[in-house]
């Protein structure tokens, strides 16, 4: 159970940080290098993979996803939430009268302030 919880937390954290785009881009680059080494040299395959002028479908998808994620959303005014149907200034609030506070003698309080009796000594 602990392991599943840790894996789930790591997955959620990586998705929150945007690491899924890095994983997809790495898969795209690896696939591009493998496919291009079959028809040309390894050096040429690396150059065409990372020059940015020959993107694959997955590279275009990752780029579109990153830009869509970073683009500011259209500013939508949130709906106004009103707690009260009438403004607070119009409410007539009357203070409630409470009973007077009864003052008691400090004798019970003084009894609590004295130190408690010590326990009898232990027999060794």
Indicate whether 10 belongs to any domain: no
Cα(7)–Cα(4) distance, rounded to whole angstroms?
5
Indicate whether 57 belongs to any domain: yes
Lowest mean pLDDT among 20-29, 41-50, 100-109, 111-120: 100-109
Looking from the CA of 46 toward its CB, the CA atoms found within 13 Å total 3
Greater pLDDT, 59 or 94: 59
Indicate whether 91 belongs to any domain: no
Tell me, letter by letter, the H, E, C secondary structure of 45-94: HHHHHHCCCCCCHHHHHHHHHHHHHHCCCCCCCCCCCCCCCCCHHHCCCC
Q: What is the pLDDT of residue 84?
A: 64
Q: What is the pLDDT of residue 88?
A: 66
pLDDT in tens, 12-67: 988 888 888 899 999 999 999 999 999 999 999 999 999 989 899 999 999 998 88
What is the count of structural domains for the chain?
A: 1
Q: What is the pLDDT of residue 4?
A: 92
Indicate whether 77 belongs to any domain: no
What residues make up the domain containing 57?
18-70
Residues contacting residue 27 through CB under 8 Å, at least 6 positions apart: 58
Residue 7 scores a pLDDT above 90: yes
Residue 81 scores a pLDDT above 80: no
Cα(27)–Cα(45) distance, rounded to whole angstroms?
15
Residue 107 scores a pLDDT above 70: no
Indicate whether 33 belongs to any domain: yes
- Beta carbons within 10 angstroms of residue 56's beta carbon: 15
Cα(59)–Cα(78) distance, rounded to whole angstroms?
35
Q: How large a percentage of the chain has pLDDT more than 90?
A: 30
Indicate whether 28 belongs to any domain: yes
Q: What is the mean pLDDT of the chain?
A: 82
pTM here is 0.51
Residues contacting residue 119 through CB under 8 Å, at least 6 positions apart: none
């Amino acid at each position: 159970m602990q392991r599943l919880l840790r894996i789930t937390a790591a997955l959620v954290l990586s998705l929150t940080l945007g690491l899924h785009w890095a994983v997809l881009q790495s898969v795209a680059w690896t696939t591009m290098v493998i496919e291009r080494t079959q028809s040309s040299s390894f050096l040429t395959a690396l150059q065409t993979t990372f020059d940015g002028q020959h993107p694959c479908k997955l590279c275009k998808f990752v780029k579109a996803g990153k830009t869509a994620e970073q683009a500011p959303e259209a500013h939508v005014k949130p709906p106004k939430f009103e707690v009260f149907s009438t403004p607070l200034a119009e409410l007539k609030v009357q203070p409630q009268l409470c009973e007077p506070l009864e003052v008691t003698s400090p004798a019970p309080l003084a009894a609590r302030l004295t130190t408690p009796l010590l326990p009898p000594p232990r027999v060794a």
